Amino acid sequence: MPYRSTDKTRQKKDAKRTAMMQAAVRVFAQKGYHAATVRDIVSEADVAIGTFYFYFPDKETLFNHLFEETAAFLLQAIDQALISRSSFPAQLEAAVQAYVNVAFYEPAVVQLLLVGGMGSAPSLSERRAEYREKLIRAWQRALNAALERQQIEPQNTRRTAEALVGALDEIIFHLLSSPQAEQERTAAVRDMVQLGLRAAGYLYAPS
């Protein structure tokens, strides 16, 4: 009779894997990708080193998992915000707010997504490029729809989407690095929305 793990066993395994990934986020954020070691991670997670290698063959694989999970979650949050509104200003505000919410909920993870280990994990560059392309296309779809509705000026929506992605990342990174991040949060959202409207050449309706 083949062995089948029980739900309880699977839950314990999932809990250990989650604990190691959460510990890795803290270690990578504190030490950076290069300086962090597997021993640092298992010490932070309070697990045996053999447990680490049961789940991950090396540090790079774990980092890739962290990147992929965070990127997928953030992309879904922004994409859902963009498709849940009909006007470009509402889409922009909802997407920016979604990004900020995720960033403040998991600041260390989002910082890793933005800068941590980039170029350090050799296998990550392709995954990062894929994530950026998906994010750019999500913004471009919203811009194309706004252009069809004549809500924004005629433009190369691909270039505008690229600019938006880069600018919002930069602002989020500096916001998370600020000691007054929580106090600056609301103003930062407002500033990012205004920046996006200007960048897209939003045509304000006459009052």
User: For 178-191, how does the pLDDT look when each residue is reduced to its tens digit (9 = 90+)?
Assistant: 999 999 999 999 99
If asked whether residues 80 and 161 sit together in one domain, one would say yes
Could you tell me the sign of the dihedral formed by the alpha carbons of 161, 177, 18, 45, in that order?
positive
Q: Tell me the per-residue pLDDT of 189-207, one tens digit each, with 9 for 90 and over.
A: 999 999 999 999 998 754 4
Task: Establish if 80 belongs to a structural domain.
Answer: yes
Q: Is residue 156 part of a domain?
A: yes
Same structural domain, 131 and 108: yes
- Boundaries of domain holding 129: 59-200
40 and 64 both lie in a single domain: no
Could you tell me the two tokens for 95? Answer: 């997407």
Residue pair 157/147 in contact (Cβ under 8 Å)? The answer is: yes
**Same domain membership, residue 192 and residue 94:** yes
Q: How far is CA 191 from CA 66, 101, 119, 148, 158, in A?
A: 29, 15, 30, 25, 22
d(CA 110, CA 142): 23
Residues 87 and 67 in one domain: yes
Q: CATH number for the domain including 83?
A: 1.10.357.10
Domain count, the chain: 2
For residues 105 and 144, state if they share a domain: yes
In a domain, 205, yes or no: no
- Span 67-123, pLDDT tens digits: 888 889 899 999 999 999 989 999 999 999 999 999 998 887 787 777 655 555 666
Domain boundary among 56, 83, 100: 56
Domain containing residue 47: CATH number: 1.10.10.60
Nearest of 167, 172, 166, 164 to residue 104 by alpha carbon = 172
Looking at the domain assignment, is residue 136 inside a domain?
A: yes
Structure tokens at 196: 């996006």
Same domain, 134 and 175: yes
The answer to whether position 206 is within a domain reads no
Global pTM reads 0.81
User: What's the average model confidence in pLDDT over 150-179?
Assistant: 95
179 in any annotated domain:
yes
Domain termination residue (choose one: 31, 56, 81): 56
